[in-house]
Amino acid sequence: MALCKRGVQCCVTTIIRCSYPFQGIATVSTYTPILAYSRLSVLSCRHYSLSQGRLGIFQRASEKYEKFLEHRFPRLYILYTTFVKGFRLMVHDVRETKRIRMKMLTQDVSLKELPYREMETIILFRKDMIKAIPLVIISIPPFAIILVFTLMCLFPRQLLIRHLWTPQQQQDFQRLYHEQRCRHRENILKGVAWSIPHIKEWTLRSHLLTLISKVQSGSHPSVKDISAVRGVFSGQPLGLTGMDSVHMRLLCSHLLLNPWLPGFLLRRRLRAKALDLLYLDQALATLGQGQLTDAEIREACYLRGLNPSSLTTSQCREWILQWLQLSTQLTESETSLLLHNMVLLSVNYPSS
C-alpha cells in the first residue's frame, strides 16, 4: 500500500508541475527527468512562437510598405523592387562564384574546363566587378554615401551592374550598346578590305575579297565562306599578333572596351576576350545549345554581337548553331576570327 500511495503521489505531482510550471504550488518534493523535459519543452515552445511572431510582424509590415509604395509612388516602387531583387541576385552570384573558385582550387580545374553555365557566371561576374570597383572606391570617404546615390541615379548605365537595372533600363541600355557597336561595323569591314593586298597567298586573298564583297553587298555569308579564310586571321595582317593599332582600336570600340589604352594592353584585352569566347563556345558545344532556355539563348546571341530583340527564338537558335559550327573548328591562334565574326556573321542576319 505504501508503494502504491508513493507512485500515485509522484504521478499527481508531475502532472501538476507540467500544467503549472511557473506557479509555486505546494506539492510533495518529487523531481523526475520527465518533469525537467516538460519544463524545457514549454520554454522552447514559447521562444519559438515568439520568434515566429516577430517574423510574421516584420513580413506583414514589409508587405504593407510595398503596397503603400506601389499605390502612392509607383516609380519609387519599381526602383525599390529592382534594388531588392538585384541585391539578392548579386549575393547569389557572389556565393556561386566563390563556390566555383573553390572548386577550381581544390580540383585543380582551369577556366576552360568548367561547364558552360559556371564559366559564363565567372566571366559575367568579373565584368560586373570591374564596373563596380570605381563606385566602391568613391564610397570609401566618410559621408560619401549621398554622392554615391546621386551618381547612381544620374549615371545608372555607367555605374550600376546589370542586376540593379530596371526592366525598362535593361531594354534601353541593350539597344544603346548595340547602336554603339553598329557604328564601327562598316569601318571594321573596310579595315579588313584594306588588308587584302598585304595577304601573300593568292587563294586566301581571293576568298577574303569574295567574302567582304558579299557582306558589304548586304548578303548573309555561310559558315563555309568564313571558314575558307581562317588562315588570314592567324598571322599577318589580321591575327592578334600582327594586327595594327588602328584596327585594334576599332575592334575594342565594337566590343565596348576602352580603345585609348596603349597598344600592348589593347592586344592583351582582345586576346582575353577572344579566348573567353572560344572557351564558352567549346563548353556550349559540349552542353548542346538545345539545353539552353530561350532567355539564355538570347543572352548568348547578344554576347556574340547579335541583337536578339527583333528576332524570334528559332532565329536565335539557328544563328547560334551557325556560330558554333565555325568556332568549334578554330584553334587559339585563330581566335581573331571570332572577334571579326561578330561583324561578319551578324551584320546582315537574318537576310539571305
Please report the pLDDT score of residue 11 as a whole number. 44
Domain ranges of the chain: 58-165, 168-345
Report the distance separating Cα 311 and Cα 50, nearest Å.
Answer: 54
Kindly report, residue by residue over 239-296, the tens digit of the pLDDT. 998 899 999 999 999 999 999 999 899 999 999 999 999 999 999 999 998 899 999 9
Residues of the chain with pLDDT under 50: 1-50, 352
Report the distance separating Cα 299 and Cα 174, nearest Å.
Answer: 11
31 to 3, 5, 13, 22: CA distances (angstroms): 17, 16, 9, 15
Please report the pLDDT score of residue 90 as a whole number. 85
Please report the pLDDT score of residue 140 as a whole number. 76
Write b or e for each residue in 281-299: b if 16 or more Cβ atoms lie within 10 A of its Cβ, otherwise e: bbbbeeeebeebeeeebbb
Please report the pLDDT score of residue 157 as a whole number. 87
Please report the pLDDT score of residue 212 as a whole number. 95
Please report the pLDDT score of residue 28 as a whole number. 38
Residue 238's nearest CA partner among 225, 248, 226, 250 is: 248
Please report the pLDDT score of residue 62 as a whole number. 66
157, HSE (Cβ side, Cα atoms, 13 Å): 11
Please report the pLDDT score of residue 88 as a whole number. 85
Residue 295, all three cell numbers: 532567355
Amino acid of residue 271: R
251 to 6, 93, 178, 201, 314: CA distances (angstroms): 95, 29, 14, 25, 29
Please report the pLDDT score of residue 15 as a whole number. 37
Please report the pLDDT score of residue 5 as a whole number. 42
Please report the pLDDT score of residue 80 as a whole number. 73
Kindly report, residue by residue over 288-328, the tens digit of the pLDDT. 988 999 999 999 999 999 999 889 999 999 999 999 999 99
Residue 245, all three cell numbers: 593599332
